[in-house]
Structure 1
C-alpha cells in the first residue's frame, strides 16, 4: 500500500488524504523544530577531529545508498586514507554498543549493510544507533576520515560533506512528507547538500548520474563465478528497499528468472523463507546485501549478484577536489 500511496497516481490515493495529511503536517513540524534546535545550539552536536562525510537520502526506503558508500570508501582508500564507516545498523540489535563489525559478526547483530560494506571494502566499520559514539570508537582505530552510512537527518553529528542519493525512477513520489508521502525532509534540503547522486533514470540539473554495474554471479558456498545467464532457471529474491530494481537488472542481463520474490528491506531471511520458492528452479539468485544473511545456511546452488556504482571520472574528480579541500582544513 505504501508504494501505491506514495509513488502511483491512481485516483484512489485521495481516499487516504484526509487521514494522513494532518499527520504529515505534524511530522514536518516536529522534524523542522528538531533541526532548528540543533542549528541554534540548543541541542548538543558532536564535532569529530577528522572529516565526516554523510551519505543519505530524504526519502524512506532504499535508493542505492550502499553502493555509493562503497564507491566513496574505495575512492578514499585509493588516496591512501584509512577510512572508518559508521552505521546505525538498522534492523539489527547488538549485545552492546558501539559494535566493531568483523568477519564473524552476525548480520543480526550489526545489520546487513554494515556487514556488506565491511566485507567489500575492508574498512573499519562501527555500528551504534548514536553515531557520535560510533565515531569516537573509530578514532581509537586511527581513521583519517569517517563516512556515515545514512544519517542525513542525524543532526547530532556534525558533518563536512553531504551526499543525497536519489532514486532516478521514483524520484520523490508525491513529494509529501511521511506518512502521506515518502519524504523525511522537504525537497528544499536538496539545495543544502554538496552532492546529489541519481541512481538510474535521468539525472536532472545539478545531479551526478550513477548506474549500478552488475558483475559475475558468485556462489555463496564455493565462491565460483559465473555469468548470470548461464545459471539456468532461477528463483530471484531481494530484501532491499526497492526489489524491482534488482529483478529488472536480472532481466537486462538475460537471466532466465521464473520466480521473483521481494521481501521487506533488511528482513532477516531464513531457509524456510527461501526453500519453498525453489520448487521449479535450478538455482537461486539474490543481492549481495541478502547474501551476508544467508551464507551460513546456503545451498550449493545459491548465488548472489554484486553490483558497483558507476560514476563518471569527471564527477569523481569533482568529489575528490571537495574532499581534498576539507582534508586541508584538518591539516591532512
Structure 2
C-alpha cells in the first residue's frame, strides 16, 4: 500500500499500489474525473512536502534512481547497472533502498546469503547480489549508517527516492516507461503520477526512457521538448544465453510492476508461452498459488519461467514453494543503452562525482 503524504502514525489513508488498467487507457475514464479532487489534494501535499524538506548533505556522493509514476519502470535494473559501472571504475558502492515488502525498518546491512525477501524486500536482495546494500525506511538514517561503516563507501546509489526530500542528491535519474509513458497524465489516485509532472521534471537531472527494442522513440522525443536535461534511451534485454527458450513450452508467471513487458520479451525470444499468471508487484506467493503453478506446468508439460525478482522471493520456502523455486527458471535481464547513450550516462555520473568531490 502507498500512503498519502499526509499520513501520520495514527491516521493512515492508503492508496492501492496496484495499477488500474484505466490509468493507461487511451479513452478518458469516469473514475479519473471522479477522483480528480483527491488527486489535486494528493499532488498539492506531495509538492508541499518536497518544498519544505531540509535534506541531509551526506559526506559522500548520492546518486538517486527514481521515477515519476507508481509501478514498474525499470528503476532497479538501472540501479544495478550503475552499481556495476561504478564498481568497475574502482568505487566502493553501497546501494540504499527502502526495502519494500520486508519487515526490517533499518538501517540494516543486507546479508544476501541468509536474509529473505520477507525481511528485507525482493529488490534489496537483487541489489545485494551486485553491491553492499542497506535497507532503511528513513533514508537519512540509512545514509548516516553507510558513512559510519562498518564497510567503506565512496558513493551511494539510492534505488527509488526521487520524491524523498530526506537526502541531498548529487545526481537524480528518472526512469520513464517507454511503452506507457505517463498514462492519462493524472496524479494518484486519478492516474499514475506521484506528483504533477511539471514539478517532478524539476527534480530530475536526467531521464532514461526504458523502451521496447526497436521503438520509434516517440516518448523520448516528446520529453526532449519539455525537459531541459539529457534524455537517454535504453531497453531491457536478456542477459546470457537464451537458446533454451526457443520453441520451449512455457508457463510464464510474474509479480512485478509491468509483467506484460516480461511476457513480450519471452515471446520475442521464441518461447511457446502456453499460459501467463500475473500476481501483484512484490507479492509473496502462498502454498496454494505455488501448487497451482506446479500443476499447470505438469498438465501442459511446460517449463515454469519467471523473473529474478520473483524467484528471489521464494528463497527459504518449503513444500510447494520450495518445489516451485527448484523447478522455475528465471530469465535474467539487463539494461542496454541505445547508441552512445551508455557512454553519455557514464560521463554524467563521472561529472557529478567530480563536481561533488571538488566542492569545498
**Superposition TM-score, scaled by structure 2 size:** 0.82
Match of 1:58 in 2: 68
Indicate whether 1:100 and 2:109 are aligned. yes
Deviations 1:262-299 (A, max 9, x none): 11101112342132132324220000111111244144
Partners of 2:101 and 2:117 within 8 A in 1:
no
Change (3 A) 1:17 1:215: closer
Give how far 1:330 is off: 4.2
Match of 1:292 among 309, 312, 329: 312
Indicate whether 1:136 and 2:144 are aligned. yes
Indicate whether 1:322 and 2:332 are aligned. no
Match of 1:210 in 2: 234
Match of 1:29 in 2: 44
Task: Output aligned runs, 1:67-106, within 5 Å.
Answer: 67-94=77-104, 97-102=106-111, 103-106=113-116
Indicate whether 1:242 and 2:261 are aligned. no
Unaligned runs of 5+ in 1: 39-43, 218-224
Task: Output aligned runs, 1:155-304, within 5 Å.
Answer: 155-188=165-198, 189-200=200-211, 201=215, 202=217, 203-204=220-221, 205=224, 206-216=230-240, 227-229=244-246, 232-277=248-293, 278=296, 279-296=299-316, 297-299=322-324, 300-304=326-330
Partners of 1:216 and 1:228 within 8 A in 2:
no
Deviations 1:144-169 (A, max 9, x none): 00000001101111111000000001
Unaligned runs of 5+ in 2: 1-17, 225-229, 317-321
Higher mean C-alpha displacement, 135-144 vs 315-324? 315-324
Deviations 1:186-231 (A, max 9, x none): 22222542211111142323421111111347xxxxxxx862226x
Extract structure 1 runs of 4+ deviating beyond 4 A: none
Give how far 1:2 is off: 4.1
Provide the aligned length of Structure 1 versus Structure 2: 314
Structure 2 CA distance for aligned equivalents of residues 233 and 89 of structure 1: 34
Structure 2 CA distance for aligned equivalents of residues 304 and 295 of structure 1: 13
Partners of 1:282 and 1:301 within 8 A in 2:
no
**Superposition TM-score, scaled by structure 1 size:** 0.89
Change (3 A) 1:226 1:315: closer
Partners of 1:190 and 1:196 within 8 A in 2:
no
Secondary structure of 1:175's counterpart equals coil
